[in-house]
Amino acid sequence: MKVGDRVEVKEEAIGKSCRKFDGGKGTIMGVRQGTHCSVKLDSGSLYAYDMIELILLPSYVPITHEGKVYTQLKEITGEKVYEAQGDKKSECFRKGFSLFVSIFGWMCVVPITEKRIEGWSNTYTQWLPWLKQHGFIRIEKVEPELKACPFCGGKPKTWWDISEPHEEGYNIECCYIHVCKIFKDEATEAWNSRD
């Protein structure tokens, strides 16, 4: 077991001391002395467990959709998203939530899939950002891959320039062709689209 692994607390370990109501599932945040794990439970509390008290769960598989990578971080159910919103039920939450429970109900566990991400982006664009903001999913931009140099076929040299007198930004260079842009993805795009 390692940091980032999804785990479930074994039934017999749940009742240990005052942890009765925090049993369930969580993510390993740290490992000490080989067997001591600090686990952030999905309820939000952080507790220490021994590895023998934990069951390793399959990790969520990241999903790529339209240039973004979506990774599920914890279980999504109607009940859990309702709890996550707390007392301040925003307009943004209400709309997404009512659509969500009308389809999946209250207790059904809903893993993210490419089809769902597509559906959610089409029906209500605020729903995925809401899930991200409340720690259910992570959304990352896919880094465009840098193409090989069209002249020598080699891997271009890349570096950040942050100091004077150079132009500030991300640099890509090979065979006397030099691209420099403020942002890395912008520079990569410029390099890749050049013939």
- Give the footprint of Zn ion on this chain (CB under 5 A): 149, 151-152, 154, 174-175
The distance of closest approach from Cβ of residue 188 to Zn ion in the complex, given in angstroms and rounded to an integer, is 16
Cβ distance to Zn ion smaller for residue 10 or 178: 178
Please tell me the number of Cα atoms within 13 Å of 23 on its side-chain side: 15
How is residue 93 annotated by DSSP? H
Cβ distance to Zn ion smaller for residue 111 or 154: 154
Backbone angles phi, psi at 159, to 5 degrees: -160, 160
Nearest to 148 by CA among 177, 170, 168, 169: 177
Cβ distance to Zn ion smaller for residue 37 or 174: 174
The distance of closest approach from Cβ of residue 158 to Zn ion in the complex, given in angstroms and rounded to an integer, is 13
The distance of closest approach from Cβ of residue 192 to Zn ion in the complex, given in angstroms and rounded to an integer, is 14
How far, in Å, CA of 128 to CA of 120, rounded?
7
Cβ distance to Zn ion smaller for residue 46 or 175: 175
The distance of closest approach from Cβ of residue 195 to Zn ion in the complex, given in angstroms and rounded to an integer, is 14
Nearest to 44 by CA among 4, 70, 17, 74: 74
The distance of closest approach from Cβ of residue 187 to Zn ion in the complex, given in angstroms and rounded to an integer, is 16
Cβ distance to Zn ion smaller for residue 106 or 151: 151
Cβ distance to Zn ion smaller for residue 103 or 148: 148
The distance of closest approach from Cβ of residue 31 to Zn ion in the complex, given in angstroms and rounded to an integer, is 44
How far, in Å, CA of 136 to CA of 131, rounded?
5
Helix orientation angle between 91-104 and 78-85, rounded to the nearest 10 degrees: 170
How far, in Å, CA of 12 to CA of 27, rounded?
19
Nearest to 120 by CA among 104, 109, 134: 104
